Amino acid sequence: MEMPFSPSGALIKHPFAGLLLGEGPFRESAVPPESGAAFYVNTFRLDDPLPWKIPAALHSLPEPEDGLPPAPEIRWEAPSPDAYAQVFTEIMGQIASGRLVKSVPATPQFGELQPPHVPRELIRRAFGSSPSHYPYAWWTEKEGFCGASPETLFHQQGRRLTTMALAGTARPEDEGVFINDDKEIREHEIVAGSILSRLSPCGSVSRTPRRVLNLGTLIHFVTYLTLEADRPLPPDHWIRLLHPTPALGSQPRTEETLAQLDDWRSRLRCPPHFGAPFGLLLDGDFFCLVGIRSMYWQGRRLALCTGGGVVASSTLTHEWRELKLKRETVRHSFHLP
């Protein structure tokens, strides 16, 4: 399948509607339209005043079947652990003082795409991931991002809201140890418990038992939650209630801890859209991903960002190794060396 490289566009794989392409130019709005389609594109800080991007046209695309061309050359820079080590030390200090239970610093690896290739070629490469991943993309003439996320922030259909807690990470060959790892279980339960506590005042919530989700190169703990809300509310309400979950944010989640996390992300030069909500409203049905497992670009400059949860039992060596493992997973999902 030849990917459309129009000057601006958006793509997402919807669980029921399949692969959908929004073509620009986009009309921007502070509120979602009452009918039709609109993409939700925002930063991690949710500071875009006009996050609803209404496409000029929406098309259904066939699933790509043909093979990929040879991978483009990317000259990657080795990430330095120094800045991350300093942030890690500060987080552990906050945890030791009782001000934090968990935080998720995210750090990028930068690279340069070599001519004649252009970054939008990466969009097609994001569509060969496993069925457990949802490809997505957003681009303009100068910048953009694309990825294949295994994590949904939520799916809203009327008063029903389905969401997931996805936290705790290991290699598939370590599953036997992983399922009994106190640090990974605690990290996951912080996320699941936080989502449950946020949703419970809004209606009736059910939760599945924690289980292992195998994504090929990584395994995670996953818990699914379903809310039957007491009253209908717009997608913006649920976005601000749930984002960021402790899988990418902080616990406890306060203005102070989120501002602190934003400072850490800035110091680590994390792209502003990493981990942000990305979704599609389609005639009242709103499907929203967590923007991870992705590449970001400005011109030919690329950033591959990964994050990992830091809790009381974390060690610097373990976390730095996990970030490297996640970067390898992202490159694998893009079929890049």
Side-chain-facing half-sphere of 32: CA atoms under 13 Å = 22
Spatial strand order in the sheet of 106-113: 57-61, 18-23, 9-14, 134-139, 143-149, 294-298, 301-307, 106-113, 74-76
Q: Contact 273/10 with Cβ under 8 angstroms?
A: no
Task: State the average pLDDT over residues 262-287.
Answer: 96
Q: Crossing angle for the helix pair 255-267 and 81-96, nearest 10 degrees?
A: 160
Say what the pTM is.
0.94
Dump pLDDT digits (tens) for 130-165: 677 899 999 998 999 999 999 999 999 999 999 999
Place of tokens 């997505």: 136
pLDDT (0 to 100) of residue 62: 86
CATH for 9-64+73-333 (3.30.200.20, 3.40.800.20, 3.60.120.10, 3.90.79.10): 3.60.120.10
Higher pLDDT among residues 40 and 332, named by residue: 40
What is the maximum alpha-carbon separation in the chain?
55
Place of tokens 């093979």: 67
Dump pLDDT digits (tens) for 168-196: 889 999 999 999 999 899 989 989 999 99
The dihedrals phi and psi of 154, each to the nearest 5 degrees, come to -175, 165
Which sequence spans correspond to the domains of the chain? 9-64+73-333
Q: Which tokens belong to 211?
A: 């289980």
| Average pLDDT of the chain to the nearest whole number | 93
Distance CA 253, CA 102 (A): 10
Contacts of 55 (CB under 8 A, 6+ apart): 9, 10, 22, 23, 24, 26, 37, 38, 39
Task: State the average pLDDT over residues 272-287.
Answer: 96
Dump pLDDT digits (tens) for 14-59: 999 999 999 999 999 999 999 999 999 999 999 999 999 999 999 9
pLDDT (0 to 100) of residue 3: 53
The string of DSSP letters for 191-208 reads HHHHHHHHHGGGEEEEEP
**What amino acid occupies position 174?**
D
**What amino acid occupies position 302?**
L
Higher pLDDT among residues 251 and 86, named by residue: 86
